[in-house]
């Protein structure tokens, strides 16, 4: 399997997890920053290899084989992210691009040894679940901070946007995985939220709040 094929599979996998329907050519093109015609070409190749189900004009879905392959790539991506943060002192906003490369390294032994070395973590530095060696993904129930009701509190367990800009903003506000957050008040004018993070009170926009995953206490 080529790197390009792997990247397409991963993109389809991610789109599937958020929409839960067949994935459109254009959606793939957009997330991969490529052209729809290129996507069509690749889809045909993946279908030929029995990695996706494809009927012209109807979008694609992953086969069992394709889904497993995609999850193995995600597993590698996230394990490498843990390695970079835990062992090499990268911060959580610096790991993605390197992990994009490392996820394509082919060696069963390497990835399992790496997992052991890291203590078989189940989550990456952004709170996303790491599929195990069989492709099983542990599903944690979590909800967006923007969807909490006033007075509810919990801990930050993940982020939706993993862009460097967003993560650096969170660093600045001292919000990280594990932070205790309480939803104090909503400003109806701009839908911003007043929250308490580990004893300090601050105000964040709705956009920010809708990119933070919470687990209620």
Binding site for DNA (CB under 7 A): 2-5, 24-27, 34-45, 54, 56-59
x/- contact string, 39-78, with a second copy (CB under 8 A)?
A: ----------------------------------------
Centre a 10 Å sphere on the Cβ of residue 165 and count the other Cβ atoms it contains: 8
Classify the C-alpha dihedral 17-139-170-7 as positive or negative.
Answer: negative
At 76, list the tokens: 């590698």
x/- contact string, 113-142, with a second copy (CB under 8 A)?
A: xx--x-------------------------
Picked from a second copy, Mn ion, DNA, none, the partner binding residue 124 (CB below 5 to 8 A depending on kind) is Mn ion
At 102, list the tokens: 């490392």
Q: What b-and-e string marks burial along 171-191, b requiring 16 or more CB atoms within 10 Å of the CB?
A: eeeebebebebbbeebeeeee
Please report where in the chains the tokens 């932070």 appear, as a residue.
179
x/- contact string, 38-77, with Mn ion (CB under 5 A)?
A: ----------------------------------------
- How many residues interact with Mn ion (rule CB under 5 A)? 5
Binds a second copy by CB under 8 A, chosen from 37, 58, 101, 120: 101
Cβ pair 154, 181 in contact under 8 A? yes
The one segment of 39-47, 102-110, 138-146, 187-195 that binds a second copy by CB under 8 A: 102-110
**Whole-number Å distance between alpha carbons of 106 and 121:** 20
* Minimum CB distance to Mn ion, residue 162 (Å): 6
Q: What b-and-e string marks burial along 21-47, b requiring 16 or more CB atoms within 10 Å of the CB?
A: ebbbbebbbebbebeeeebeebbeebb
At 215, list the tokens: 């687990």
At 140, list the tokens: 């944690």
Task: Based on the shown chain and the rule CB under 8 A, indicate whether residue 20 belongs to the binding site for a second copy.
Answer: no
* Minimum CB distance to a second copy, residue 26 (Å): 29
* Residues at the site binding a second copy, with contacts judged by CB under 8 A: 84, 87-90, 94, 97-98, 101-102, 104-107, 109-110, 113-114, 117
């Amino acid at each position: 399997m080529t790197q390009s094929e792997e990247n397409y599979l991963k993109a389809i996998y991610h789109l599937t997890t958020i929409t839960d329907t067949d994935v459109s050519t254009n959606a793939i093109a957009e997330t991969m920053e490529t052209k729809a015609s290129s996507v069509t070409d690749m889809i045909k190749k993946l279908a030929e290899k029995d990695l996706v189900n494809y009927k012209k004009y109807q979008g694609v879905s992953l086969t069992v084989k394709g889904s497993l392959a995609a999850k193995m790539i995600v597993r590698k991506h996230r394990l490498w992210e843990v390695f970079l943060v835990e062992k090499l002192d990268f911060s959580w906003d610096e790991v993605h691009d390197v992990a994009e490369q490392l996820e394509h390294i082919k060696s069963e032994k390497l990835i399992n040894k790496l997992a052991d070395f890291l203590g078989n973590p189940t989550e990456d530095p952004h709170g996303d679940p790491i599929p195990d060696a069989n492709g099983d993904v542990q599903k944690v129930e979590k909800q967006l901070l923007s969807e909490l009701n006033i007075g509810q509190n919990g801990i930050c367990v993940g982020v939706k946007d993993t862009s460097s800009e967003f993560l650096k903003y969170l660093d600045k506000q001292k919000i990280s995985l594990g932070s205790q957050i309480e939803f104090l008040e909503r400003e109806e004018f701009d839908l911003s939220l007043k929250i308490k993070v580990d004893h300090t009170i601050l105000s964040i926009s709705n956009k920010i709040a809708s990119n933070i995953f919470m687990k209620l206490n």
